[in-house]
Amino acid sequence: MKYRNWVEESWAQIDVQLKRRYDLIPNLVETVKGYAKHERETLEKVMEARNRMFSQDNTRNDEISANEQLSRGLKSLFAVAESYPDLKANQNFTMLQEELTGTENKIAYSRQSYNKTVMEYNTKVESIPTNFVASIHGFKRREMLQIPAEEQQNVKVSF
């Protein structure tokens, strides 16, 4: 029971960071809109992914999928910003970008913590004698969070 609660608490930590990022995005989009009016498609994709994050009937897998889509959208948004020197120099944009970067780091740390907790829980569910208790009470193995395929690729540096 203790390990199952730890898994839930670890997921809650991820959820807190995802919510923090969710709250920052509208300000970022509004700031970019002022400078990059013709980048509407990129901005819409970011907002659509953001809105899917906390849909009422989302499962954890749905949230993870929406999170990955949102991360890709934010990367596109920051790439767009590279084309607008005035936007890159905007103090509000810079501050929001730093906030999002910090939040992304916290999400990554929370995911690591979640996976560690799930590993400990799964070990208890599968080990003798705790596996007997787990079986009786319906404790099932949990899935760890996976790194999306596009993030697994190595960065190639050439000179």
Pairwise CA distance, residues 146 & 45, whole Å: 23
User: Which pTM was predicted?
Assistant: 0.78
Residue 144 is part of which domain span? Answer: 2-151
The mean-pLDDT minimum among 47-61, 102-116, 131-145 falls in: 47-61
Per-residue pLDDT of 13-30, as tens digits, reads 999 999 999 999 999 988
Q: How many CA atoms lie within 13 A of 118 on its CB side?
A: 16
Structural domain contains residue 25: yes
Structural domain contains residue 142: yes
Structural domain contains residue 158: no
Distances (CA, A) of 102 to 80, 105, 136, 155: 20, 5, 42, 21
Sign of CA dihedral 112, 140, 18, 69: positive
What is the mean predicted confidence (pLDDT) over 32-41? 82
Structural domain contains residue 157: no
Per-residue pLDDT of 38-89, as tens digits, reads 788 888 888 988 888 888 888 888 888 888 888 888 888 888 888 888 888 8
CA-CA-CA-CA dihedral for 34, 36, 30, 110, to nearest 10 = -150
What's the structural domain count of the chain? 1
Average pLDDT of the chain is: 85
Structural domain contains residue 156: no
pLDDT more than 90, % of the chain:
36
* Residue 151: per-residue pLDDT: 52
- The CATH number linked to 64 is 1.20.1440.20
Structural domain contains residue 89: yes
Cα–Cα nearest to 100, from 29, 12, 13: 29
